[in-house]
Amino acid sequence: MFFNLLALFFKTSRLFVAISAVSIFFGCTTSPHVSHIGDVDSDGYYESLTPLGKKGYFLKQLAPNVYFFSTGTYNNLFVATQEGVVITDPIKGKGDLLKKAIGEITNQPIRFMIYSHSHIDHIGDAHLFASDNVQIVAQVETGKALKKYKDKNRPVPHINFGTNYSLSIGGITLELIYPGEGHDKGNSIIHIPSRKIVMYVDTVTPKSVPFKNFAYTKDIYNQMKSIEKVLKLDFDVYVAGHLHRPGLKKEMREVFSYYRASQKASVEALKRVSFIDVRAKSKTKDIERLFGEYLDTVAEECYRILKPK
Ligand SMILES: [Zn+2]
């Protein structure tokens, strides 16, 4: 279908083909002009923040040894065993609360710290957990990014894996899987098969459409393939990095259906919006600005197509 569409455009204008080729499917990843945001009615697809209470965090057992920790908008999981604790993503500014939460469950020392990816909002308190006795594990691209950042709050990993890494401790195994670029380079899936639990951060928050530009994706095609890959894993519950609660597999499917609908809407919007028409209506002679106006028009058309009728 993409090729037919390109062929059609090719007859119209070489310039248009060049422009369309880079923007096909990216129409909906481009946010409409800011001035329109206030005009957008909420369709109710969100979940209200829940009051945190005195403790300042939510702690919930997901399965034997596995615990969900959330500070409302951010979350992670940790695994407590008789041989020590594995933590993931020590959220910036919330490390002391995470220590308290772990203290509610166990006195065992932390042995491993997994970074899902390099972003500071998710791992900015890593320095509070780093010690000679804690092995930090992350995908090699995350390690490379952190070496470059030289941020003392985000110590570099000791174990840098490529596509897969198995971490076993106290009779439980965590499988780390790198599905390739999507939201950041290095963003990895954490799967605990024996507990049917997945952690996959920043791409499929339950009851949420993806954050701006599909979570600032580096590769929308691969990001979708990655979500498909996650959905093929055996799990019931997942931890998304955001929200006060974990999600259900059917909720991941639901968010993914928005990705698919956006892909379809992008193709349709690119058919409907003519670059020639946008150029005819535009006052600018600046080609880059004109291209921006074209993308805004495509994005607005995507919105019209996607909006529930
Ligand atoms: Zn992120």
Q: Note the pLDDT tens digit of each residue in 66-115.
A: 999 999 999 999 999 999 999 999 999 999 999 999 999 999 999 999 99
Residues 157, 135: Cα–Cα separation, whole Å = 7
CA dihedral 287, 290, 296, 297 (to 10 degrees): -130
User: Above pLDDT 70, what percent of the chain?
Assistant: 86
Ordered by where they begin, the domains of the chain are 2-44+262-306 (no CATH), 58-208+215-244 (3.60.15.10)
Burial class (CB within 10 angstroms; exposed 0-12, middle 13-18, buried 19+) of 148: exposed
pLDDT at 260 over 70: yes
Q: Are 190 and 114 in contact (CB under 8 A)?
A: yes
C-alpha 17 to ligand 1 mean position (Å): 33
C-alpha 118 to ligand 1 mean position (Å): 7
pLDDT of residue 11: 35
pLDDT of residue 38: 58
How many angstroms separate the most distant Cα atoms in the chain? 70
Residues 228, 259: Cα–Cα separation, whole Å = 11
Q: Is the dihedral of CA 150, 152, 158, 164 positive or negative?
A: negative
- Identify the residue with better confidence: 294 or 52: 294
C-alpha 206 to ligand 1 mean position (Å): 16
C-alpha 200 to ligand 1 mean position (Å): 11
C-alpha 116 to ligand 1 mean position (Å): 9
| ipTM confidence | 0.97
